[in-house]
Amino acid sequence: MSSMAPRVLILGGTSEARALAAELVTHGVPVVSSLAGRVSAPRLPEGEVRIGGFGGADGLADWLTRHGIIAVVDATHPFAQRISASAAAGTARAGVPLLRLHRPGWQESPGDRWHWVDTLDDAAAVLPRLGTRVFLTSGRQGLAAFAGLRDLWFLARCVDPPTPPLPPRLEVVLSRGPYHVEEETALLREHRIDVLVTKDSGGSMTEAKLIAARRLGLPVVVIRRPARPAVPTVTEVATAVDWTLGWVTES
Ligand code: NAP
C-alpha cells in the first residue's frame, strides 16, 4: 500500500488502539493515531501520532476533510464519553465511515462482592458503609468526588500526580499497568485495604486487582459505563483491521 499522508484515523489512548495501529502499519496502511494529551508521557503507538483535541464534532469533521481521511476507528476508553460523541457526530458530518472498537466490560465471578453504581459521586456515597481503607483506581481526574470523605483513608493509583481537591487522608502511587495478581494481592495486604473502587474499564491490563479482591474477600465498588452513541461496533482488534483494510482497498 502507498506511503502517502495518513488516511485512516484512530482515536486512541488505549492498548487496543496501539495494537490496531501496529497491525495497520504492518499492513502498510497510512494511519494516524490521535491522543488527547492528558498524560505527560503517553505510550506512543506505531505510525504517525497527533496530540490534542479537535474542537468538538465540528472541529473533528473539518480535520477529517482537510486531511482526506477515508475511515475512522474510535478505539478510545469506554469512559471517554465526549470524544466518542464527537466521533459519531463529526464523522456523520464529514461523510466518513466510523467503527467503534469497544472492549467488553468485566464480568462478575462467584466470590465477587461487587456494588454497581452509576457515577463517581455514587461511589463516594456508598463507600462509608463498605470500608475505611480504600484503594481508588478510578483515575486521577475523578479524585475530587472523594474529597469530602474525611474519615476514610485512600490509596489512589494514577499515571500522573493528581491535583486538588483531594481527600485529606490520601497516599498516591504513580504507575500504569499491566498489573499482576500476586503484586495486587500484596499491595492490598500491605495497605490493609478493605474496599476497592474501579470503573468498569474491562480488559486484561488492569483486571488483576479484581481477582486479588476476590481472593481476599473484599468488596468492590464498580462504576458502570456511560451510555454510548449507537455506531457499528466490534470488540476484536482483528475485526477492526479487516474493516479498515476493506475501506483502504475500496478507496
Ligand atoms: P473525553 O472526556 O471523552 O474527552 C474530552 C475531550 O478531550 C474531547 O472532547 C476531545 O477534545 C479530547 N479528546 C479525548 N480523547 C481524544 C483523542 N483520542 N484524540 C484527540 N482528542 C481527544 O475523554 P477523557 O475521558 O478525558 O479521556 C481522554 C483520553 O484518555 C481518551 O483518548 C481515552 O481513550 C484515554 N483514556 C481515558 C480513560 C478514562 O477513564 N476516561 C482511561 C484511559 C485512557 P475536543 O472536543 O476538543 O476534540
| pLDDT at site 5 | 59
Rounded distance from Cα 112 to ligand 1 centre (Å): 30
Question: Where do the H-state alpha helices sit in the chain?
Answer: 15-26, 56-66, 81-94, 120-126, 181-190, 208-216, 237-250
In this structure, are strands 98-101 and 233-234 parallel, antiparallel, or unpaired?
Answer: parallel
Higher-scoring residue by pLDDT: 1, 34: 34
Task: Determine if ligand 1 sits within 6 Å of the CB of residue 6.
Answer: no
Distance CA 34, CA 91 (A): 15
d(CA 47, CA 109): 38
What confidence score (pLDDT) does residue 114 get?
98
Inform me whether the pLDDT recorded for 13 exceeds 70.
yes
169 pLDDT more than 80? yes
54: Cβ below 6 Å to ligand 1? yes
pLDDT band at 25 (very low <50, low <70, confident <90, very high): very high
Pairing of strands 71-74, 219-223: unpaired
How far apart, in whole angstroms, are the C-alpha atoms of residue 105 and residue 87? 21
Ligand 1 pocket test: pick from 14, 63, 83, 225 the residue with the most ligand atoms within 8 Å of its Cβ: 83
Residue 4 has pLDDT above 90, yes or no: no
Q: Domain spans of the chain?
A: 7-102+227-250, 113-223
What is the average pLDDT score of the chain?
A: 96
Higher pLDDT, 141 or 96: 96
Superfamily assignment of 7-102+227-250 in CATH? NAD(P)-binding Rossmann-like Domain (3.40.50.720)
Q: Which atom in ligand 1 lies closest to the alpha carbon of residue 39? A: 30
Segment 85-106 shows an average pLDDT of 98
Query: Hey, which CATH number is domain 113-223, 2.10.25, 2.50.20, 3.40.1710, 3.40.50?
Result: 3.40.50
pLDDT-derived band at 3, boundaries 50, 70, 90? very low
DSSP strand pairing (71-74 vs 98-101): parallel
pLDDT category of residue 251 using cuts at 50, 70 and 90: confident
User: How confident is the model at residue 250, as a pLDDT?
Assistant: 86
By the 10 Å C-beta count (0-12 exposed, 13-18 middle, 19+ buried), 34 is classed as buried
The Cα-based distances of 223 to 33, 67, 79, 241 in angstroms read 28, 37, 10, 30
Render pLDDT for 124-165 as a digit per residue (tens, 0 to 9): 999 999 999 999 999 999 999 999 999 999 999 999 999 999
Distance, CA 13 to ligand 1 centroid (Å)?
Answer: 8
